[in-house]
Amino acid sequence: LLDALPMRARGVLAQRNGFSGESEKLADIASQYDVTQERVRQIEQKALRTIRTNIRDNKMGPESFR
């Protein structure tokens, strides 16, 4: 699923959702990427929208969920 996203969007989703441990706060992620908290939120929302759209439009087959 994440392969369809740019690297920064993958990182933001991983950090926000705790893929590698605990989820991080917007402020912490924003400082790592040198952007505002609002920009991190926007990146996260766009990434989630992209995933939903790809699933809905069947651009991602069952192999994407492994």
Torsion sign across C-alpha atoms 66, 62, 12, 16: negative
Tens of pLDDT, residue by residue over 9-37, are 999 999 999 988 899 999 999 999 999 99
The 10 Å Cβ neighbour count of residue 41 is: 15
Q: What is the pTM of this model?
A: 0.81
